[in-house]
Chain A
C-alpha cells in the first residue's frame, strides 16, 4: 500500500454531484462502445478479477467448505469473538483519532510554512515504508519496559491501540492533502467577506470539500487496522481474551490445520470492512451535501 494507490480514491465523482448529469451519462455511453474503451474495460476487469475477485471468492468458498456448523463454531468460540471485538473496537477508535489528527496534520502541511516542513513531509510516510516487524521493534523500545518515556505498555491493550495508530497514521493525511492543495483560498476569502465566521466557513465550505477524501483515508486506515499483525508480534503479547487480535487467531487456526475456521474469521473481517466502508461513504455524502 503506497501513497500512489491512495490518490485515485480521492477523486470520486459521486461525492460532488455534477449539475449536468444527463450530459455525462450520454458521453459515457458513447465511449463504452468504442473498441479501445471496451479493451480498457476488459483489461480492468481481468486485472481486478485476478487480483481481487477470485481470491475473495476462494476465501468464501473455503469458509463454507466445512458447512455452516464449522463456520458457526469458529465464530462463536469465545476466544475468537473476544479477538474480533478487540480488533474492531481498536480499529474504530484509531480511525476516529486519524480522522481528526490526520486532517489537522494535512492542514498544517498544506497551509502553514515552518522550518522542517520538508522533513515532516518525508517522515509522515515512514509507517508505510517500514516493515511492520521493524515498527514493532520501534514501538517496543518506545513503549516497552525499557521505555525512555517511563511507561510500560507492552502486552496491554494500549499497545494494540498504539500499534494500530502507528501503522495507519499516513492514510488520512495523504488522502486529504491533495484535495486541500486544490482548494481555492478565494472561496474562503469570499465567504469571509460575506461575513461568515471561521467556523461557518470551515463547516460549510472546507469540510464538505474534504469529506470524500477524509472518508477514503478513514476507510483505508480502518481496513489496515483490522488486518494488522506484524507490528503486534513483539508488542501485544497475544494474550487470549486480553490482547489477542483477529489476525493472530487466523494464524493459530492455520497452524492447527483448520483452514475452514481461518477462512471463517477472515470472511467476518471482510464483511466488517465492507460495512464500515459503506457507513463512512454514507456519512461522507451527507457531509458533502450539507452546504
Chain B
C-alpha cells in the first residue's frame, strides 16, 4: 500500500513539475517582431472590434494603391472590443488596433505595448465617430421621437449590458447626459435613468446580441449606434432609426503598437486622410477629419444627407473623461448604474 501511494505521489509531483515547466516555456516564446520577408511583401496584423471590419477592408484596398501601402498583406482578427484588447495583452500579435473604446487602448498602454503618446495626434487617437441612436420597428408604430418617449408605459427597451459590454456604456451615458444637456439637474438625470431602466426588458451580452434580440421581436426599442443601424440597413435589415435632438458622440480609437512594422503607422495615417475616412463614411461612420467628402450613404435615413447634426452633441470629455465616468457610473459598489439596477431589478 505504502509503495503504491509513494508511486502515485511521485507520478503526481513529476506530472505537475512537467506541466508547470511546459506552461512557463509556453509563455516565454513568441515575442513580437516585425514581419518582412525578401519578396517585397509586408504582413501587417490588425486586431479590432467587429463592426468596422468591412470599412477597414475597404480602406486596406485603397491603402494598397498608395506608394506606402504597396505589397502590404493583412492578417486580421475581429471580435468583441474588450476581448480583443485582452487578447493583445496576452500575446495576440498586432501592429494596428482599432477598438470601440479608449479604455481598450489604455489597457495596452498600461501593458507597455502602445506608447503613451498615442493620443497626441490632431484627432486625439480617434479614427471614427458615430452617435447614439434609437432604433424602432419599421414605421415606428409607437410614434417615438426622442428620449422622453422611452420612459412611457408600454415601451420595452433593449440595450446591451453595460457590465459585460464596454461599448454598451455609450448608450446609458447618452440617456443620462441628454437630460443635463437640456438644462436638467443631476438628480433629474438620475430619475430619468431609473425610469429608463424600469422599461428595459433585456440587457444582451453585446451590441450584436441586442440587435438580434430586437430583430427577433423582443422589445420595441433598441438603443444602438448610428453606424451599426446604417450597416444593418445596408445588409437588408428593415427597421427605422431616430437620431435624437440631444445625444452622445461616439469616438472609436485606433493605435499603432510600439513594436509594430513602420507600415502600420502609414496605415493609420491613411485612415486619417480624407481618402481613408471616405471608406469609413461609406459604411456609416461619421468622419473625424474635416473636409472629408460625404457622398451618398446607403442605409441612412436620408442617404443624401446621412449625418444630421443634433442640436446637442456632447462627448465623453463633457462628462469628465472615461476614468471619471467609469468610477461615477459603473463602479460595482458605488456607481450610479449598478445602484439603479439594484433598485429597479428588485422591483421586477
Contact = CB atoms under 8 A, between A and B. Distances in A.
Given A53-B16, A240-B341, A248-B205, A255 B200 contact: no
Given A49-B16, A53-B16, A145-B216, A78 B342 contact: yes
B202 interface: yes
A42 interface: yes
B204 interface: yes
B28 interface: no
B205 A238 contact: yes
A145 B217 contact: yes
B73 interface: no
Interface residues of A, number: 44
Contact of A41 (B8, B338, B341): B8
A46 B200 CA distance: 49
A237 B202 contact: yes
Contacts of A227: none
A248 B18 CA distance: 34
A202 interface: no
Contacts of A82: 345
A89 interface: no
Contact of A46 (B7, B18, B216, B218): B18
B19 A50 contact: yes
Given A53-B16, A234-B212, A251 B204 contact: no
B25 interface: no
B213 A140 contact: yes
Nearest to B5: A32
Contact of B218 (A33, A155, A248): A155
A53 B15 CA distance: 10
A129 interface: no
B11 interface: yes
B216 A252 contact: no
B140 interface: no
A144 B8 CA distance: 53
A237 B217 CA distance: 13
Among B164, B212, B341, B348, find the residue whose CB has the most chain A CB atoms closer than 10 A: B164
Contacts of B8: 41, 45
B253 interface: no
Interface string B181-225: 000000000000000000011111100010011001110000000
A185 interface: no
B217 A256 contact: no
Given A29-B1, A144-B217, A240-B345, A233 B204 contact: yes
Q: Is the interface of B mostly helix, strand, loop or mixed?
A: helix
Given A33-B3, A255-B165, A256-B163, A241 B346 contact: yes
Interface in B2-41: 3-4, 7-8, 11-12, 14-16, 18-20, 22-23
Contacts, number: 132
A69 B200 CA distance: 33
A239 B163 CA distance: 11
B82 interface: yes
B277 interface: no
A46 B10 CA distance: 11
A154 B213 CA distance: 10
Contact of A255 (B164, B213, B218): B164
Q: Is the interface of A mostly helix, strand, loop or mixed?
A: helix
A45 B12 contact: yes
Sort chain B's interface into a size bin: 35 or more
Given A42-B15, A54-B20, A234-B216, A241 B7 contact: no
B201 A155 contact: yes
A242 B346 CA distance: 7
A69 to B, nearest CB: 12
A254 B82 CA distance: 9
A267 interface: no
Interface string A35-75: 00010011001101110011000000000000000000100
B166 interface: yes
Contacts of A257: 107
A197 interface: no
Interface string A230-262: 000110011111100000100110111110010
A76 B15 CA distance: 37
Contact of B345 (A53, A146, A239, A254): A239
A77 B332 CA distance: 8
B177 interface: no
A38 B332 CA distance: 51
A234 B213 contact: yes
A78 B14 CA distance: 43
A252 B161 contact: yes
Contacts of B3: 32-33
Interface string B135-178: 00000000000000000000000000101111000000000000
B82 A239 contact: no
Interface string B215-249: 01110000000000000000000000000000000
Contacts of B1: 29
A124 to B, nearest CB: 27
Nearest to A237: B202
Contacts of B165: 255
A204 interface: no
Nearest to A37: B7
Given A49-B12, A240-B345, 11 more contacts: A45-B11, A46-B14, A46-B15, A49-B16, A54-B23, A233-B209, A237-B201, A239-B202, A239-B345, A248-B164, A254-B82
